[in-house]
Amino acid sequence: MSLASQEFLSSDVAEGVFQLPGRLALHHGGSLEQPSLGWRIAGQPDAPVILALGGISAHRCVFDAAQPRMGWWHEVVGPGLALDTNRVRVLGIDYLGGSGESTGPAAGGVFPSLSSYDQADALVQLLEHLNIQRLQAIVGASYGAMVALAIGERYAARVGQLVVISGADRAHPMATAWRSVQRHIVRFGMASGRATEGLELARALAMATYRSPDEFAARFDQPARQVEGRFVFAVEEYLFARGRDYASRYRAESFLCLSESIDLHAVDATRVAIPSIVIAIREDQLVPIADMRALAVRLPRARLIELSSPHGHDAFLKEAAALQSIFQSLYGVIER
């Protein structure tokens, strides 16, 4: 679906596709010529704006009060929820390089390597376009935490507060290992003319890294069953069902681009001069707790909150109650 820029759909929802007026020079070389950025803003009219950024499969629809399942953060963000859209407006975007309305790789096409700084640069132009001088806060999780830190380093005056969840100043080499294998699988699928199957497989692997061993032990402690002469394990059925669902909705080329962008991410946390809350999940396999603690030490103005969750890296999608109390500090009045 294509949306006209700034077409207001109802009194409290607006969305559009913003075309940057010029060339966007990229951190790792190359540029994008007048790239587009899909955006959506929803919540209490005239309330302060919070930018919500999720993982690489997130998109501009953070929540949708009318169709809750359409929002990638629907368990946490909405009227009366942990991030209460009766009190704030929430801005979401489609990432550059992704599968949404923003500029990204075409099927089979070549696309330059993207940095979290590139997302930050494009986002700040969008804020200008939307006439948002200053964000009340950015709440970023996973890749979104990385982009939040990139904005914090480059554009501190634009943001009142950062909430950095399950994402650090750089990727851990073990997480890079797992994602490197995922990218090889996807490229292998593309080279074999079976891109969708490759993407299914890569996503199945990714799902195993998003959750904690304890969650899998509790859910999948069942004997294998025989299907068409082969043993199939309960956890295998789950992973590949998730993989198939993902591959039906996302492009292999976008996955490659954003997965690489995570591993290329490297910001200087000591230069992020914004009050920050760092939320770390002890069971996160992908972003070890030690890396989040080190991030909180490097950030000049950070408070660290450690949580436990069987959902591991995906805790930000699930732990609404814990997040609700933390998000209370985001509702204060700021100058705008």
Query: Which residues would be at the binding site for its own copies (CB under 8 A)?
Result: 28, 113, 172-174, 176-178, 180-181, 184-185, 188-189, 192, 194, 197-198, 201, 204-205, 207-208, 213, 216-217, 219-221, 223-224, 231, 233-236, 239-240, 260, 263-264, 266, 285, 288
Q: Could you give the residue numbers annotated as active site?
A: 142, 284, 313
Residue 278 CB, shortest distance to its own copies, in Å, is 19
> Which residues, in sequence order, are CB contacts of 140 under 8 Å at separation 6+?
51, 52, 53, 54, 146, 147, 148, 149, 162, 163, 164, 165, 167
Whether 294 and 271 have beta carbons less than 8 Å apart is answered as no
Report the distance separating Cα 232 and Cα 245, nearest Å.
19
Residue 291 CB, shortest distance to its own copies, in Å, is 8
Residue 153 CB, shortest distance to its own copies, in Å, is 17
> Which residues, in sequence order, are CB contacts of 25 under 8 Å at separation 6+?
31
Token pair, residue 101, equals: 């309305």
Residue 279 belongs to what H/E stretch?
strand 276-281
223 three-state secondary structure: coil
* Residue closer to its own copies, measured from CB, 155 or 240: 240
Residue 171 CB, shortest distance to its own copies, in Å, is 9
Residue 325 CB, shortest distance to its own copies, in Å, is 30
* Residue closer to its own copies, measured from CB, 28 or 303: 28
Cα 204–Cα 176–Cα 102 angle in degrees, nearest 5: 70
Report the distance separating Cα 311 and Cα 46, nearest Å.
35
Report the distance separating Cα 319 and Cα 308, nearest Å.
10
DSSP state letters, 4-18: -TTEEEETTEEEEEE
Q: Taking each helix axis from N to C terminus, what angle separates 234-247 and 195-210, rounded to the nearest 10 degrees? A: 120
* Residue closer to its own copies, measured from CB, 207 or 277: 207
What phi and psi values does residue 64 have, to the nearest 5 degrees?
-145, 105
* Residue closer to its own copies, measured from CB, 143 or 327: 143
* Residue closer to its own copies, measured from CB, 13 or 208: 208
* Residue closer to its own copies, measured from CB, 15 or 197: 197
Residue 274 CB, shortest distance to its own copies, in Å, is 26
- Across-strand partners of 7? 15
